[in-house]
Structure 1
Amino acid sequence: MSSTTTVTTAPYGTWPSPIGAALAASNDGRPEYLGAVGEDIWWTAPRPAEGGRRALVRRRPDGSEESVLPQPWNVRSGLTEYGGRPWAGARTGDGRSLVVFVHFPDQRLYAWDPGAPDTPPRPLTPVSAVGGGLRWADPVILAERGEVWCVLEEFTGAAPTDVRRTVAAVPLDGSAAGDRTAVRELTGDRHRFTTGPRLSPDGRRVAWIAWDHPRMPWDGTELLTGSVTDDGRIDGVRVVAGGPEESVCQAEWAPDGALLYVSDAAGWWEPYRLPPGEETARALCGGRGEEFGSALWRPGTRWLAPLDDGLIAVIHGKGTTALGILDPTSGEVVDAPGPWTEWAPDLVVSGERVTGIAAGPDRGYEIVELDTRTGHTRVAGAAHRDPVDPAYYPRPEVRVFTGPDGREIHAFVHPPHHPEYTGPDGERPPYVIRAHGGPTGRYYLAFELEVAYFTSRGIGVAEVNYGGSTGYGRAYRNRLRGGWGEVDVADCAAVARALAAEGAADPERIAISGGSAGGWTAAASLTRPEEFRYACGTILYPVLDPATWAGDGTHDLESRYTESLIGPLAEVPERYRELSPLHRAERITTPFLLLQGLDDAICPPEQCEALLERIAGRGIPHAYLTFEGEGHGFRRAETLIRVLETELALYARTFGFERPDVPPLELTR
């Protein structure tokens, strides 16, 4: 904007903005699951306007990009409901390319020849009518064996917890497309959860990660290795790292046959190296007080990737992340230059080049390539393009607040920002305190048009990485154990109080918002006004009653998550009632908005419906919106638009300003 631009004074929340809900929805999602097929780089990309499908995109060496596999192909795995790496590509012995992928609607594995684009993909796996059927993820193509090795998730009954998982081998000739018995199981189902296999350079060794209930993968996992026999079996399996209180989140093989892995044995996820033939691994750069890994929500994520010369590409940081090149001999890490503050766990190495997916506060996730020889970085694909003048973007602040008992609380604060508007003297802006999902997750210092949608209208946003979040070490993550619904609520409230006390926010106009586990935190916050009295709340696809949510009330992955978050239900049933927003619903006195996908298998609609029954006839202003065809997390453009506009309408009504650009919200009492 010009330095001579006239700045208009207008009440916070009323500022006009070029960032509409449709624009924000069109920018929802990011590239994921980066991979290489020959010299081409491939990834999956969001398509909100196409029913929320994930497209497969290819970038050629000349820089041209194309979306392959047109509608209705949807490259996305439903493994554990959160998914995992849904595709793999390889060169075959005859020099052709082969791509294997999961099609979301039927969850079958398909094989496709990119050199014959007019030939439709052919199925490799059968359909099962039992429960959630058969699901696949984290594939590795072994063309010389004529197989693809991957994770198999197989439902054995109608309940969401009637399920088994194993590493399996699927024939590439299609013989298993109608015959489940043609799928070879490689590891059995001795463990409840598993990642896909990682094969050593000579193909004679294999590594994978496994864990069991009631642990979650950030609590404790086991790193297993075995020998691959000539007939394709896995023999001599043993545990080389991990345990009940040690989380290994990734394993890879170095070119010299050493096993590389990321473990939090010392309190932070850090890289280790186990040389061939040795029994003791060595920490490569311990004691830095930062993370080189994160929560293993989805198999196939990569925070570490070895280079041919022995160096290792790593993603690391505390709260934010950088791409670095680690010298395993000296432990030195040299970071790649550039404006990116968040690197997704998606690394591909080809010769001296490392390719990843990165974003910054003023740029969305894009494909970035690092030349390790020169140290230069460049955008190599999915380049960020400003949908509006960047002058309308928020200016985030990395903050550390003080919570109960003097503990640290990390947050990203986005004050209201507009190049042509400011608030009146003496008026403090409204704010939305946002709680992330997980709860073992975090917010990222990355461009998000949804945040700009509010800040450009004069509404501040504070994204709280409350105790239990990843990115700050195991002790910070474990803070939530036994205190879900208390620690997260208190940390969000501490941020709200601090913003009000320092004059940054109007204490009478602060809302709480969150989805999934963040929906739990938002709902629980409304039932605990003694922590902070929010003006209203936005609750998206929440957990509300952990007692009914545990076990068969949710999907298998998180069915015993509450044992660490609250405690074993049989031992502390009173804690479940004490912390549950459902059983404290009589304490809700402020307006709220409830948003729910009707196809949500993780937080089913029954949770929301039970809350509505509890508040019926009590005169609490609220609105309940449901969305057919949406699961856990919204993907369709029309849904995203409705959600944003309705949330803004709630704040306009509650905070007392006019927003003619969104339909008014009718609240039920």
Structure 2
Amino acid sequence: MTSSASTPTTAAYGSWTSPVSAASLAGDRVALDQPSIDTGHVHWLEGRGSEGGRVVLVRDGVDLTPPPFNVRSRVHEYGGGAYTVAGDLVAFVDFADQRVRVLTVGAGEEPRAITPESDSRLRYADLRLDEGRRHLYCVREDHRGDGEAVAAIVRLEVDGDNADGGTVLVQGADFLSAPRLSPDGGRLAWLQWNHPNMPWDSTELWVADVTDSGTTGAKRVTGGQDVAVTEPRWSQDGDLLHLSDESGWSNLAAARTDGTVVALTAAEVELGWPQWVFDRPSFGTTDDGTIVCSWFDEGNGHLGTVVDGVVTALDLEGVAFDHVRVEGRTVVALVDRSDRSRAVVTVDLDRGVVEVVREESAFELPAGMLSTPELVSWTNSAGLTVHGAFHPPASAGFRAPDGELPPLVVRLHGGPTSMTVPAFSLDTAYWTSRGLAVLDVNYGGSTGFGRAYRERLLGQWGVVDVDDCATGAWAMAEQGRVDGDRLAIRGGSAGGFTTLAALTGTDVFAVGASYFGVGDLEALARDTHKFESRYLDRMVAPYPEGRDVYRERSPLHHLESLSAPMILLQGLDDRVVPPNQATEMAQAVRAKGLPVAHLEFAGEGHGFRKAETIVRAREAEAYFYARIFGYELADDVEPVEIDNG
């Protein structure tokens, strides 16, 4: 079906033709991450679906890491901090073997490994170069022994072979991160925490003197039980800047050279992000000591400065600002925008000039096709306010028949401590331009609204999040925005669990799509990686003492109450959520006689990276919705095998 923008065609919601194809989500699009600036050069990582998901380090638009190198760390499985630059010296982690390699820009040399072969049993992240001394500081995760991997902060010799895997500087805590060397090279700061805490629960900031053989005089500076300290950073005068949520909101603080710790801001706004990955900065300092930071205020993202304890937003386009780094009076950041794709940008603080360095996609929607998101809130069953963003259908070429309301896709972020922002994305436009509405839910447990909001999920995962999504969907239906009989829910990872829990625990949704979602919490508690191995102690209950709670919350054990079809999409190399969970869920739904589709993808892990996988998964999901909701999909897609369909 085609249409002219000047004379809209009347057609059912969901059946509209769209300029946003599934291939648009993976074709010329790249996934941008970890921008940085050094000696005036802007660097960033590009994940390229067209190259099988290979992540490339780019400098000023020129690739620094040639094929087949793939710049990704596997520490904590989520990685982060996989490269660092100092002048023309570059260090990075290659995903294939997890060895650290170095290269000199312009020298015409192949990257040289400086860590030993270990069959990926030695893994490195959060890299920091000390260029003058030719040292590299980083977090090392050692899988060579029995039991849990051992965390350490190590020092590598840039010009050595580091046959022992590096000089161990710090060890003993379950988890370590953020090794940061003082400007004079004499002291090392770091963060540490222990099971069952996650880094947004309870962390400690430590400092020690650096010696030739290691460190000495280690002492805790701040942090502790129920206080999350993140992002340590030395100032030029020796203060140790950091974020702390001791007040209930993540704000800036400084550990002075005299041993005192003082708050630099005290606003009811949220600075920083949950540290799922290493080296994700939200602030930096200019040469004159001005702090530039990003924050969230009721779901709105800002970038600004701190002067005399007051945060003042800069007049910039953007709804979220991530990976904020500062050099001189120039800021580089990863920015989400409301009308265009995510981009790496630089900001000249003196001239107020913003330059877009690289966009994730050059794709531009035709006039009239952009869905303008609206920040919304509603009340859940407990009478608490929940936040989200609503994206209505939008097409200049189509209108729906009189009286028809659109289907709604309730979309869940992962984590579950992440958050959603009202940003433009081709993912959203794929649905809205076809005539479906989208509701992004920042359910209780999400970041960006203070510690108390995030802690609503403690002991309540699978309860609070499900209720917040169900009440949000009904709120949109009761307000006449969407069709209450055509409500879908979709999510990946933790969002996949909430999707499955909503389909088994409520009768609100007519269909669901789970991407590598958790069906059996007990299996996840028994069979997952170190970083999250005790996560569920706080989110559900200690295990195995709380086994009954795990079974009660697991969708796989409540299929008797399931009344909605589902599609499950799973990578076969997933180390976070084992593929057998999707298999068991599909078998159970199939046995119950409900429509179910189960797609598996070889070579994909926890999150899809290959272009062909992204295309097939999205088209399969759209096909499934069309079959369940009863409209004719305009796209010519490969049919999906639907059991009981």
Structure 1 unmatched ranges of 5 or more: 60-64, 92-96
Letter of the structure 2 residue corresponding to residue 195 of structure 1: S
- State the alpha-carbon separation in 2 of the partners of residues 336 and 501 from structure 1: 38
1:243 paired residue number = 224
1:149 paired residue number = 137
How far 1:271 sits from its partner (Å)? 0.3
Q: Which SS does the other structure have where 2:226 is aligned?
A: coil
Letter of the structure 1 residue corresponding to residue 522 of structure 2: A
Contact preservation (8 Å) 1:512, 1:537: yes
Give the one of 259, 270, 279 matched to 1:291.
Answer: 270
The alignment status of 1:219 with 2:201, answered yes or no, reads yes
- State the alpha-carbon separation in 2 of the partners of residues 258 and 390 from structure 1: 51
Contact preservation (8 Å) 1:215, 1:244: no
How far 1:663 sits from its partner (Å)? 2.7
Contact preservation (8 Å) 1:34, 1:42: yes
1:606 paired residue number = 580
Q: Which SS does the other structure have where 2:410 is aligned?
A: strand
Letter of the structure 1 residue corresponding to residue 231 of structure 2: Q
Q: Which SS does the other structure have where 2:31 is aligned?
A: coil
How far 1:388 sits from its partner (Å)? 3.5
- State the alpha-carbon separation in 2 of the partners of residues 550 and 244 from structure 1: 23
2:609 paired residue number = 635
Q: Decide whether aligned partners of structure 1 residues 368 and 336 sit closer, same or farther in structure 2, where only a CA change above 3 A counts.
A: farther
- State the alpha-carbon separation in 2 of the partners of residues 113 and 77 from structure 1: 20
Alpha-carbon displacement from aligned partner over 1:135-162 (angstroms, at most 9, x marks no partner): 111111123333211000110347xx62
Q: Which SS does the other structure have where 1:527 is aligned?
A: helix
The alignment status of 1:335 with 2:316, answered yes or no, reads no
Structure 2 unmatched ranges of 5 or more: none
2:483 paired residue number = 506
Give the one of 109, 120, 123 matched to 2:113.
Answer: 123
2:253 paired residue number = 272
- State the alpha-carbon separation in 2 of the partners of residues 320 and 472 from structure 1: 10
- State the alpha-carbon separation in 2 of the partners of residues 81 and 43 from structure 1: 20
1:456 paired residue number = 433
Q: Which SS does the other structure have where 1:216 is aligned?
A: coil
Letter of the structure 2 residue corresponding to residue 48 of structure 1: G
Alpha-carbon displacement from aligned partner over 1:557-610 (angstroms, at most 9, x marks no partner): 111111111111233221111111011122222110000000000001021122
Alpha-carbon displacement from aligned partner over 1:285-311 (angstroms, at most 9, x marks no partner): 20x211011211111110111222111
2:170 paired residue number = 187
- State the alpha-carbon separation in 2 of the partners of residues 44 and 556 from structure 1: 26
* RMSD after superposition: 1.8
Between the two proteins, the alignment pairs up a number of residues equal to: 640
2:102 paired residue number = 111
- State the alpha-carbon separation in 2 of the partners of residues 615 and 577 from structure 1: 17
For residues 399-418 of structure 1, what are the structure 2 equivalents within 5 Å? 399-418=376-395
How far 1:30 sits from its partner (Å)? 3.0
Contact preservation (8 Å) 1:151, 1:166: yes
Letter of the structure 1 residue corresponding to residue 554 of structure 2: S
- State the alpha-carbon separation in 2 of the partners of residues 28 and 484 from structure 1: 34
Deviates more, 1:19-28 or 1:259-268: 19-28
Letter of the structure 1 residue corresponding to residue 167 of structure 2: R
- State the alpha-carbon separation in 1 of the partners of residues 417 and 296 from structure 2: 17
- State the alpha-carbon separation in 2 of the partners of residues 572 and 4 from structure 1: 58
Alpha-carbon displacement from aligned partner over 1:382-435 (angstroms, at most 9, x marks no partner): 486334325322211111111122211111111111112121111011011112
1:591 paired residue number = 565
For residues 378-457 of structure 1, what are the structure 2 equivalents within 5 Å? 378-382=355-359, 385-389=362-366, 391-457=368-434
- State the alpha-carbon separation in 1 of the partners of residues 315 and 353 from structure 2: 7
1:521 paired residue number = 498
Give the one of 295, 302, 308 matched to 1:316.
Answer: 295
Q: Which SS does the other structure have where 2:170 is aligned?
A: coil
Q: TM-score, normalised by structure 1?
A: 0.93
1:134 paired residue number = 122
Alpha-carbon displacement from aligned partner over 1:307-339 (angstroms, at most 9, x marks no partner): 221111111122232111112xx1122322222
Alpha-carbon displacement from aligned partner over 1:210-236 (angstroms, at most 9, x marks no partner): 11110011111111111223x263211
- State the alpha-carbon separation in 2 of the partners of residues 29 and 480 from structure 1: 33
2:86 paired residue number = 90
Deviates more, 1:479-488 or 1:568-577: 568-577
1:167 paired residue number = 153
1:78 paired residue number = 74
The alignment status of 1:5 with 2:11, answered yes or no, reads no
The alignment status of 1:538 with 2:513, answered yes or no, reads yes
Contact preservation (8 Å) 2:551, 2:557: yes
Contact preservation (8 Å) 1:107, 1:135: yes
- State the alpha-carbon separation in 2 of the partners of residues 140 and 304 from structure 1: 17
1:35 paired residue number = 36
Contact preservation (8 Å) 2:178, 2:232: no
- State the alpha-carbon separation in 2 of the partners of residues 115 and 376 from structure 1: 30
- State the alpha-carbon separation in 1 of the partners of residues 564 and 89 from structure 2: 56
- State the alpha-carbon separation in 2 of the partners of residues 449 and 383 from structure 1: 10
- State the alpha-carbon separation in 1 of the partners of residues 533 and 473 from structure 2: 32
Contact preservation (8 Å) 1:440, 1:477: yes
Contact preservation (8 Å) 1:25, 1:637: yes
Q: Decide whether aligned partners of structure 1 residues 498 and 147 sit closer, same or farther in structure 2, where only a CA change above 3 A counts.
A: same
Alpha-carbon displacement from aligned partner over 1:359-385 (angstroms, at most 9, x marks no partner): 211122212222222333332344863
Letter of the structure 2 residue corresponding to residue 316 of structure 1: W
Letter of the structure 2 residue corresponding to residue 427 of structure 1: E
Contact preservation (8 Å) 1:171, 1:182: no
How far 1:170 sits from its partner (Å)? 1.2
Q: Which SS does the other structure have where 1:472 is aligned?
A: coil
Letter of the structure 2 residue corresponding to residue 110 of structure 1: R
- State the alpha-carbon separation in 2 of the partners of residues 35 and 533 from structure 1: 44
- State the alpha-carbon separation in 2 of the partners of residues 602 and 310 from structure 1: 41
Alpha-carbon displacement from aligned partner over 1:184-238 (angstroms, at most 9, x marks no partner): 00002x1111113111211222211111110011111111111223x26321111
Contact preservation (8 Å) 1:193, 1:210: yes
The alignment status of 1:233 with 2:211, answered yes or no, reads no
Q: Decide whether aligned partners of structure 1 residues 619 and 219 sit closer, same or farther in structure 2, where only a CA change above 3 A counts.
A: same
The alignment status of 1:617 with 2:599, answered yes or no, reads no
Q: Decide whether aligned partners of structure 1 residues 503 and 383 sit closer, same or farther in structure 2, where only a CA change above 3 A counts.
A: closer
How far 1:53 sits from its partner (Å)? 0.8
For residues 469-480 of structure 1, what are the structure 2 equivalents within 5 Å? 469-480=446-457
Contact preservation (8 Å) 2:28, 2:361: no
- State the alpha-carbon separation in 1 of the partners of residues 536 and 360 from structure 2: 40
- State the alpha-carbon separation in 2 of the partners of residues 30 and 22 from structure 1: 14
The alignment status of 1:572 with 2:546, answered yes or no, reads yes
Contact preservation (8 Å) 1:347, 1:355: yes
The alignment status of 1:67 with 2:43, answered yes or no, reads no
Q: TM-score, normalised by structure 2?
A: 0.96
Alpha-carbon displacement from aligned partner over 1:513-554 (angstroms, at most 9, x marks no partner): 11100010000011112xx43111101101111112114x01
How far 1:350 sits from its partner (Å)? 1.6
Letter of the structure 1 residue corresponding to residue 597 of structure 2: A
Letter of the structure 2 residue corresponding to residue 33 of structure 1: Q
How far 1:341 sits from its partner (Å)? 0.9
Letter of the structure 1 residue corresponding to residue 401 of structure 2: P
Q: Which SS does the other structure have where 2:429 is aligned?
A: helix
Contact preservation (8 Å) 1:258, 1:276: yes
- State the alpha-carbon separation in 2 of the partners of residues 152 and 205 from structure 1: 19
- State the alpha-carbon separation in 1 of the partners of residues 438 and 592 from structure 2: 30
Letter of the structure 1 residue corresponding to residue 370 of structure 2: Y
2:191 paired residue number = 209
Give the one of 226, 235, 250 matched to 1:254.
Answer: 235
1:57 paired residue number = 58
Q: Which SS does the other structure have where 2:444 is aligned?
A: coil
